[in-house]
Amino acid sequence: MRIGIIGATGWLGSALGGRLLASGHAPGDLILLNRSGPRADYHGYPDVVWARGVDELAAASDLIVLSIRPEDWAALKLHAPDRLVVSFMAGVGIDRLAPCGARIVRAMPNAAAEIGASYSPWVAGPGVTDADRAAVTRLLSVIGTSDELTGESQIDLMSAVPGSGAAYPALLALAIIAFLRDRGITEDIAIRAAEAVVCDGARLLKGQVGQSAEMIAAYLDYQGTTAAGIHAARDAGFTESITAALTAATAKARHLG
């Protein structure tokens, strides 16, 4: 299958392109487009195909991945009848994508695509076939896992939650580092201590997030330091802060582009 990526040098487009090639996709069947022009070396593969424009990419591709920023969609002028278009764009609805003439799927990956660990839920527009669904699942499998959603409004929630990738863990890390630094801990040790929580501690939850309440209960049972921290975080509005963040992100997803 010839796969075209519009936005092939961006954060997500490049992650997808690189992982497709690493997983054995033929470089000659990868058609790329960006704004700044061809790169001599794309993830170590000089034989990928650089399209000279959006029409050339659409003509040469069976499946087109749209990985530009939402605000760049209106000016793109994609015309892709009889093609399958998989849009990664937050906020640009199927109704606004449909005029390009393609069968539309909206998927919401995240930056962990870089390491093959994206969770990329997706929703299908009218006319998407079973063969298209299989192609989308195969495509997204090179960057991680996926699920088909039952309604387009769910994509806005997925933009807010898995779409945010490392953002909230990074915010937590900054707060921890600042706390330790302000109390005289050197920067390098503060960073390692934050990493112990944000990256390594969180590994205990891998495959177990559904048991988070039990994990919290286990810490509360000690009535010790962590329990004191959990109570203080909740009293200070930890849950409300997360809810506010995800509510704002979902609302923004509804008004992007």
Ligand X SMILES: O=C(O)[C@@H]1CCC=N1
Query: H-helix or E-strand containing 20?
Result: helix 11-22
Contacting ligand X (CB under 6 A), which of 9, 34, 67, 159?
159
Our finding on whether 9 is near ligand X (CB under 6 A) is no
Residue 10 annotated as binding site: yes
Site for ligand X contains 149 (CB under 6 A):
no
The answer to whether the beta carbons of residues 103 and 136 sit under 8 Å apart is no
Whether residue 166 is annotated as binding a ligand: the answer is: no
Q: Which residues contact 28 (CB under 8 A, 6 or more apart)?
A: 47, 48, 49
In sequence order, what are the beta bridge partners of 100?
Answer: none
Angle of helix 153-160 relative to helix 238-253, nearest 10 degrees, comes to: 130
Q: Find the distance separating the first CA and the last CA of the chain, reported in whole Å.
A: 30
Interaction between residue 163 and ligand X (CB under 6 A): yes
CA distance 124 to 122: 7
Alpha-carbon distance of 28 to 3, in angstroms, equals: 10
Residues 85-104 interacting with ligand NDP (rule: CB under 6 A) = 88-90
Instruction: State yes or no: 122 annotated in a binding site.
Output: no
Q: What backbone phi and psi angles, to 5 degrees, belong to 145?
A: -115, 165
9 in a known ligand binding site? yes
Closer to ligand NDP by CB, 35 or 234: give it: 35
Segment near ligand NDP (CB under 6 A); pick from 17-25, 61-69, 141-149, 227-235: 61-69
Site string for ligand NDP, 30-49 (x = CB under 6 A): ---xxxx-------------
**11 interacts with, out of ligand NDP, ligand X, none, CB within 5 to 8 A per kind:** ligand NDP
Measure the CA dihedral 152/56/138/122, to 10°: -10
| Stretch 171-230 residues interacting with ligand NDP (CB under 6 A) | none
Determine, following the binding rule CB under 6 A, whether residue 67 of this chain makes contact with ligand NDP: yes
Q: Which stretch binds ligand NDP (CB under 6 A): 1-9, 78-86, 138-146, 209-217?
A: 1-9
d(C-alpha 108, C-alpha 146), whole Å = 9
Among 51, 63, 68, 194, binds ligand NDP (CB under 6 A): 68
Sign of CA dihedral 202, 204, 210, 216: negative
What part of residues 79-108 is at the interface with ligand X (CB under 6 A)?
90
Task: Tell me which DSSP letter residue 164 carries.
Answer: G
Residues at the annotated binding site?
6-12
Interacting residue ranges for ligand X, rule: CB under 6 A: 90, 159, 163-164
Interacting residue ranges for ligand NDP, rule: CB under 6 A: 6-13, 33-36, 67-70, 72, 76, 88-90, 108-111, 163, 165
